[in-house]
Amino acid sequence: MSEDPAGAAAGHDGQPGGETQPGRETQPGGETRPGREAPPGWGAQPGWETPWPESPTTGTGRRERADLETAFAAGLRRTGALMQLMGTAAADKIGINATDLNCLNILSFSGHMTAGELARATGLTTASITGVVDRLEEAGFVTRERDPHDRRRVVVQINLDRAMKDVATVFAPMLRSWREMSARYSDDELRLIVDFYGRMEQVFREHLLRLRGGPEAAEP
């Protein structure tokens, strides 16, 4: 990328020992591969080059390691920001709000949850979840059903046909892009990436619990 957080931390463009070319990403070791330019200003704004206070950008740490850690943290921040923007844009396209779409996404992992389970998974209050379920039910994305094993429990069930028709089609182009991107990696590399995401999920769960100060989030 033309603007790179690791390069900003090092005081020049690109990774140590190499220069970047427009439209190409510089990889550790000086290798390049086709890529897209970062949105204007994202890599240059104050804060992107110092994404966490523990990053050893000064002192006795190896400069290459410091640059990699800085690029790693900045990449996570940018990906997180873009995922939120993508969720908002997709929700607008579908015709629901971003919170309702996020709840529907969490519900899609199992296909059904109680309102309480959905509240714990999202950190929303029971009253807020009731509103979410009301709106999703009115839009035809979910139904409320009695648990056949415990008639006192009401289960929120996803309407798979409606979700596939109105939600999956919005995300299908991005899923194809993910599939094309994953084809560039070997099986072992993909196992490492899957392991990384599993570990990151646990980090997020731990810090959601810390921020909420309440019961741990339910598994989606």
The reported pLDDT for the residue numbered 212 is: 79
- Please report, for the domain that includes residue 159, its CATH number: 1.10.10.10
The verdict on 72 and 128 lying in the same domain is: no
Q: 13 lies in which domain range?
A: 5-89
Domain count, the chain: 2
Instruction: Per residue of the chain (220 residues), give pLDDT as tens.
Output: 434 444 444 433 444 444 444 444 444 444 444 444 555 455 555 555 555 555 555 445 688 888 888 888 889 999 999 999 999 999 999 999 999 999 999 999 999 999 999 998 888 888 999 999 999 999 999 999 998 888 788 999 999 999 999 999 999 999 999 999 999 999 999 999 999 999 999 999 888 888 877 555 445 5
Answer whether residue 27 is part of any domain.
yes
What gap in Å lies between CA 137 and CA 206, rounded to an integer?
Answer: 31
By the 8 A CB rule, do 121 and 109 touch? no
Q: Last residue of some domain: 38, 61, 89?
A: 89
The reported pLDDT for the residue numbered 39 is: 52
The verdict on 85 and 102 lying in the same domain is: no
The reported pLDDT for the residue numbered 220 is: 54
- Among left, alpha and beta (phi > 0; psi -120 to 50; other), residue 23 is left
The reported pLDDT for the residue numbered 8 is: 40
The reported pLDDT for the residue numbered 10 is: 40
The verdict on 100 and 205 lying in the same domain is: yes
CB contact set of 182 (below 8 Å; sequence gap of 6+): 190
Q: Last residue of some domain: 38, 70, 89?
A: 89
Determine if the pTM surpasses 0.95.
Answer: no
The verdict on 186 and 156 lying in the same domain is: yes
The verdict on 110 and 165 lying in the same domain is: yes
The verdict on 15 and 106 lying in the same domain is: no
The verdict on 82 and 188 lying in the same domain is: no
The verdict on 58 and 146 lying in the same domain is: no
User: Can you name the residues that pair with 113 across neighbouring β-strands?
Assistant: 156
The reported pLDDT for the residue numbered 175 is: 95
Intra-chain end-to-end CA distance of the chain, in Å: 35
